[in-house]
Amino acid sequence: MGRERRQRHGGGRRERRAGGQDAAVTKMAQPLHNLPVYELATEEGLELIHQTSMEILSEVGIAFLDDETQAILKENGVEVRDDIAYFDPAQVESLVAMAPSSFTQLARNPENNVVIGGDHLCFAPVYGPPFVHSLDRGRKEALLSDFQNFVRLAYLSPYIHHSGGTIVEPTDEPVESRHLDMVYSHIKYSDKAFMGSVTSAENAADSVRMAEILFGSDAIQESPALLSLINISSPRRLDDRMLGALKVYARARQALIITPFILSGAMAPVSVAGTLAQLNAEALAGIILTQMINPGTPVVYGSFQTNIDLQSGAPVFGSPESQLSLYVSAQMARRYKLPFRSGGMFASSKIPDAQAAYESVMVMLPAVMARVNFVLHAAGWLENGLAAGYEKFVLDCEILGMFHKFLQGLDLSPDALAMDSIRTVPPGGHHLGTPHTMEHFRTAFYRAELFDYNSAEQWQEEGSLDAAQRANKKYKQLLKDYEEPELDAAVDEELRAFMVRRKEVIRPEY
Amino acid sequence: MGRERRQRHGGGRRERRAGGQDAAVTKMAQPLHNLPVYELATEEGLELIHQTSMEILSEVGIAFLDDETQAILKENGVEVRDDIAYFDPAQVESLVAMAPSSFTQLARNPENNVVIGGDHLCFAPVYGPPFVHSLDRGRKEALLSDFQNFVRLAYLSPYIHHSGGTIVEPTDEPVESRHLDMVYSHIKYSDKAFMGSVTSAENAADSVRMAEILFGSDAIQESPALLSLINISSPRRLDDRMLGALKVYARARQALIITPFILSGAMAPVSVAGTLAQLNAEALAGIILTQMINPGTPVVYGSFQTNIDLQSGAPVFGSPESQLSLYVSAQMARRYKLPFRSGGMFASSKIPDAQAAYESVMVMLPAVMARVNFVLHAAGWLENGLAAGYEKFVLDCEILGMFHKFLQGLDLSPDALAMDSIRTVPPGGHHLGTPHTMEHFRTAFYRAELFDYNSAEQWQEEGSLDAAQRANKKYKQLLKDYEEPELDAAVDEELRAFMVRRKEVIRPEY
């Protein structure tokens, strides 16, 4: 049923596109990592980190704060004492090898299906902020309307391939049921792939059920329709909430990102190498649990790592130490042939100023060079993740566009070498208007629409706007022009009916 | 004489430092490129670009608009017709091989001598803007006092290794003699290495004479005291002004940077590959001329390359196309075993906003990963190089500091792997205050002083300043606290007397 619907719906989309009705939604394919990869650590270095993390897994152990999980571990021969599991390195390696090196996540518009892993790069929006920031309103508690706005902005960006998950926390919705509103909003206001709720086993089950309504239960067994974010409570602990969600998703064969969340100096040693060993141990612990539950479950090796600030204890983004860690984490993921998640347009800055931009590129560019596969927080992040910025979101997307172009790499064809054209232009002449230039001009260069390239005089005439002020106009225009991607009426009805039933169970007092 | 003076002066510095009088001037050694290099193009790709540029050099040719230079070329067996020289590829390769792969440039404080080439990285300030920008005054014509201020800021930054050249154009000084004021200001207000004037042969000769007064004429023959910037007027042309300066410096065995200045789409084809071939041909043409004049003259392979904006015709900085070009140019320089100059904190933005920061890192981070040796414009650049920003300068320096830390690379010692410490911290515990953390805390993390890591509430209490506003306070404080590095009185007197004599000759009407 779901499959039939999807096809019907997909067909509808194609017809509308053919009719030119939503030409505004430009599609860009996921960039491919065809450029040489940057290998910062040597093979010996990676082996040393691997061995140290095996020592952590076998001798120091990882805490799993959930009885059922402990039973699963024991059934698989893992030693568990006082909530702490001690793993056999050989078993770790054989379980890790069961996870696929890449997989396709379904989107309700099949053209937006995303490949996670291999040579593919996928950008997803910011995740988790309880606040939003805009130039007009400053910092405000995030509402469901903000959530929906960011879903719309992600839908409209050609450089965001994924609708994400908890783009912001809709604080105006009851915490017990807001996961339903979030998943529904992803489905309703976008046609890109999205993430499931991880706040409890029940919420995960609701997310799976809604994906089944949308895609059909058979389809999502073949290819996951949800990619959900399991954070490890570093150091060395998975809590019952995260484990509850992990079990539901693994059993439903839905994809998971296992991410140690580490600020070195607090959740891990101050040293990069120690952090990497611990991060690797933690990521592998979560990953092998998914394979014990359901071998072959798609799972992503995640790294959210930076360090604390000496003075405030707050996280520091784009730090040189975190860049080193990012490159090597990516190498570890490749060592285990797993998709890699890291990066993000991270910033400690509260506003979309120079600090925010410096910080963001100092994470994202290394992530791209490290050959990241999935980037959560690829646009919109401000204030250590406490705020999603409207202006920041559209500014970040400009840079994501640049990565798309960069990753197309170097064309060394005779036409690109352009000897014929070089011969025709005399010394001191110019290439403006040559046949070669005219032929390639429109596609030769990426153009960041929000960046000002005018003369200072022209820029002053136009109001001396800074980048954030231009972004302010842009996001408002995008939201104004937004058109909802058509959702099959029967699916919509079924999703709404499911939500009503669930809300009655979850919070009968309403 | 010069050497004696320098030693005496050096001694004086050491004494003062021992006495703690200028502890404010923190020294940082030049970072070393010990990390693996990123090779974007294959060997075959580099060979193709090399061969194409040899075709340009031999068949299309390079114009040298100077009779004496044409005579030099002819003496060396080069065919010259209608101002255009046609080179023999074999001769090109043998001449390029005469240039050293690295050299040391003298600074008046020998501790600030810089190595250009090999594994060394050297950051120099912005060069050339006729305007300055500050939050207080906006955009103003640059004055000699601005020039001196930026020399002071570069002197005070631990992350700027070089005093640069025409940091800004001192528009309040007569154009005929301002080179004297600039060179003198570098000597007087800093003790770092500096660049010579390239605006004419005479001005270059003045620069050499002042370096001789400072260092002694024998000393600067052994190791260059000047590193000067020869731009090629792309496409394929060296003008008489640049050639005049080039000849003077090469004969005096002073170091040169040969830099094609290319905006693809205007001075070169719109394609990256064609641009690279032309850039390579132009750089090599200038480089081999230096070796014909004085074999062994230190010379740097320069690349100033980006593309024009489709709509305005203005340059676009940090573009994906220019990033590709930067990586491959660096590979070409390595192919010829030459020091490589590129990068810079480039921005089209008129102000130190998010655009400026995004753009700047999108050039500088690739430059560092490409293994650049010398970075002109490493701090302060705004508005396509038309303005030097005070706030931008100190903000950029924060990022330069991060590169210093990043390039220290990954410590994989047992202490850094920190297994003993990892064992002591229980699941869900923290590493704050562990012996390992306490031992390493102060040096573990780079801290950007101008970046705000406080909570939003604290940040608001402190005035909700953006990064540029904090930078405004910082640069003013630096200039307030600045203390001039002592210059030998006899040297100072000789330099001043030379300037008076030269100004009387250059502009007798004054």
pLDDT one-digit tens code per residue, A150-205: 999 999 999 999 999 999 999 999 999 999 999 999 999 999 999 999 999 999 99
Question: Which helix (H) or strand (E) is A493 found in, with range?
Answer: helix A489-506
3-state secondary structure of B175: coil
First to last CA, chain A: 32
A353–B425 CB contact, under 8 Å: no
Q: What is the pLDDT of residue A24?
A: 52
DSSP 8-state class, residue B381 = E
DSSP string, B185-229: HHHHH--SBB----S-HHHHHHHHHHHHHHH-HHHHHHS-SBEEE
Q: What is the pTM of this model?
A: 0.95
Residues in chain B: 510
Q: What is the pLDDT of residue B14?
A: 34
Window 26-85 of A, Cβ < 8 Å to B: 35-36, 38-41, 45, 48-49, 52, 55-56, 59-63, 83-84
B452–A349 CB contact, under 8 Å: yes
Using alpha carbons, select from A256, A242, A261 the residue that is nearest to residue A200: A242
Cα torsion A198, A201, A205, A207 to 10°: value is -10
The band of A509, judged by pLDDT with boundaries at 50, 70 and 90, is: confident
Helix axes B354-369, B320-335, angle to 10 degrees: 30
The CA distance from B349 to B468, in Å, is: 13
Backbone angles phi, psi at B340, to 5 degrees: -120, 130
* A164 and A152 Cβ atoms separated by less than 8 Å: no
Q: What is the pLDDT of residue B35?
A: 96
- Residue B242, chain A, CB below 8 Å: the answer is no
DSSP string, A325-375: HHHHHHHHHHHTT--EE--------SSSSHHHHHHHHHHHHHHHHTT-SEE
Question: Which residues, 6 or more positions from A214, have their beta carbon under 8 angstroms from its beta carbon?
Answer: A2, A5, A6, A108, A187, A225, A491, A495
Chunked mean pLDDT (size 10), chain B, 510 residues: 36 34 68 96 98 98 98 98 98 98 98 98 98 98 98 98 98 97 98 97 98 97 98 96 98 98 96 98 98 98 93 91 98 98 97 98 98 98 98 98 97 97 96 95 92 96 98 98 97 98 88
Q: What is the pLDDT of residues B489-510, one digit of tens each?
A: 999 999 999 999 999 999 887 6
* A498 and A210 Cβ atoms separated by less than 8 Å: yes
Mean pLDDT rounded to a whole number for chain A: 94
ipTM over 0.90: yes
| Burial (CB count <10 Å: 0-12, 13-18, 19+), residue A506 | middle
Q: What is the pLDDT of residues A297-331, one digit of tens each?
A: 999 999 999 999 877 889 999 999 999 999 999 99
- Residue B232, chain A, CB below 8 Å: the answer is no
Q: Using DSSP bridges, classify how beta strands B237-238 and B131-134 pair: parallel, antiparallel or unpaired.
A: unpaired
Using alpha carbons, select from B310, B230, B322, B317 the residue that is nearest to residue B275: B322
Q: What is the pLDDT of residue B24?
A: 52
The Cα angle at residue A490 between residues A484 and A492, in degrees rounded to 5: 45
* B132 and B388 Cβ atoms separated by less than 8 Å: yes
Nearest chain B Cα distance for residue A221, angstroms? 34
Q: What is the pLDDT of residues A426-465, one digit of tens each?
A: 999 999 999 999 999 889 999 999 999 999 999 999 999 9
Nearest chain B Cα distance for residue A152, angstroms? 23
Q: What is the pLDDT of residue A8?
A: 35
Question: Which helix (H) or strand (E) is A104 found in, with range?
Answer: strand A102-105
In a mutational test of the B interface, the residue from A431, A450, A472 whose CB has the highest number of chain B CBs within 10 Å is: A431
Q: What is the pLDDT of residues A482-492, one digit of tens each?
A: 999 999 999 99
> Which chain B residue's Cα is nearest to A65?
B427
Q: What is the pLDDT of residue A16?
A: 35
HSE-up of residue B349 (Cα within 13 Å, Cβ side): 29
In the predicted model, is pLDDT for residue A2 greater than 60? no
Q: What is the pLDDT of residues A11-64, one digit of tens each?
A: 333 333 333 334 457 778 999 999 999 999 999 999 999 999 999 999 999 999
A60–B423 CB contact, under 8 Å: yes
Q: Any alpha helices (H) in A236-353, and if so which ranges?
A: 240-251, 272-293, 320-335
The CA distance from B327 to A370, in Å, is: 15
The CA distance from A429 to A420, in Å, is: 15
The Cα angle at residue A211 between residues A209 and A215, in degrees rounded to 5: 125
The band of A510, judged by pLDDT with boundaries at 50, 70 and 90, is: low
